Amino acid sequence: MADRAVKHGPWTGCAVLFLQSLCPHVNLLSLYKDQSRKFIVFKVIKLTLIDSAGGLGGYEILKLHDADPLLGVEVKFVDVAACQQFLESYSSGAVRQSLSQHACRLLTVPQEFSVETQLKASTQTLDLCLDNLQLCLQHIQLSQPERLRDDEIDSLEQQLQDQALGHAPQSAALTKEESPVPSNCFKFQRRVFEDRMLTAADVQSFSNGVGRHWKHVGRVLSKSCRALKGPAIDNLAYEYEREGLYEQAYQLLSRFIQAEGREAKLSRLVKALEDCKLTSLAENILDIEPPE
């Protein structure tokens, strides 16, 4: 890719997202090179882009690069709104969080799996100017794609479409794979639920039921929420000690919602409750009837 003058006409641009696992026993590049795991790695990346760019439209994956030890994902954007939403998600850390969640679900990697990322447009490292999204958009628009979509990506995209329609090839890797969960949904106890922002009712149910375990849930949420890192949870415990466990739990989730905004999703709370073995509380929040 080379920088060039921006042409008039439909908005297009190109960026490369570089990925590297921070888990010593997981190498994304090696997994992608493994023919039996290649499709699953691609699916993790595709679902992450769907989450972070607001759906299936506005972009396409052109190629996955071997940038040893990094895995590079070259993305062509054809819609400025999708590109801006992706940049906002990347800047907030939501891209890393989404990728980690999908990798844990599909690649059976450790729950603490996380990734290091770098975003570049031609020679420009966008991580250095994320506080100026308009400048990032300009760099991406100046970096025009120089290739059509790679044949391998065409094949993987078709495989993903076939799987979504229910007639994927019955290879050993795919027979173990579950049907893809839509980007606006999540799975809990083999059931699919629509994801959404946390509501006041969710906060109340959580605060009523979590009891003394609220700190444990808070520490799980803190892995992907900066506002809860460090001494924040202990400070909440001290500040609201007199008001009791309900208020401490209430303030925890309120702090999470205030910090994460639209990313304060039901799926993140349910996952945290699962990790803390508080499945009955998750069932209560999801309004699942207990078995008779």
- The yes-or-no verdict on residue 171 having pLDDT over 60 is no
Q: How confident is the model at residue 174 (pLDDT cuts 50, 70, 90)?
A: very low
What is the topology classification, in CATH, of domain 185-285?
A: Death Domain, Fas (1.10.533)
CA dist., res. 163 & res. 145, Å (int): 29
Classify domain 13-175 by CATH architecture. 2-Layer Sandwich (3.30)
Who contacts 71 (Cβ-Cβ below 8 Å, separation ≥6)?
A: 18, 19, 20, 28, 29, 32, 41, 64, 65
Q: Closest Cα to residue 89, out of 15, 142, 154, 23?
A: 15
Q: How confident is the model at residue 6 (pLDDT cuts 50, 70, 90)?
A: very low
- The yes-or-no verdict on residue 182 having pLDDT over 50 is yes
Burial class (CB in 10 A: 0-12, 13-18, 19+), 27: middle
Report the chain's mean pLDDT, rounded to a whole number: 86
21 strand-pairing partners: 115
pLDDT one-digit tens code per residue, 252-286: 999 999 999 989 999 999 999 999 999 999 999 99
**Same fold for the pair 13-175 and 185-285:** no
Better-scored residue on pLDDT, 54 or 233: 233
The pTM score is 0.56
pLDDT one-digit tens code per residue, 133-144: 999 999 999 998
pLDDT one-digit tens code per residue, 25-39: 888 889 899 888 899
- Looking only at the bridges linking them, the beta strands covering 13-21 and 70-77 are antiparallel
Q: Are 156 and 49 in contact (CB under 8 A)?
A: no
pLDDT one-digit tens code per residue, 121-137: 999 999 999 999 999 99
- The yes-or-no verdict on residue 168 having pLDDT over 50 is no
60 strand-pairing partners: 76
Every domain of the chain and the residues it spans: 13-175, 185-285
**Cis peptide leading into residue 69 (ω within 30°):** yes
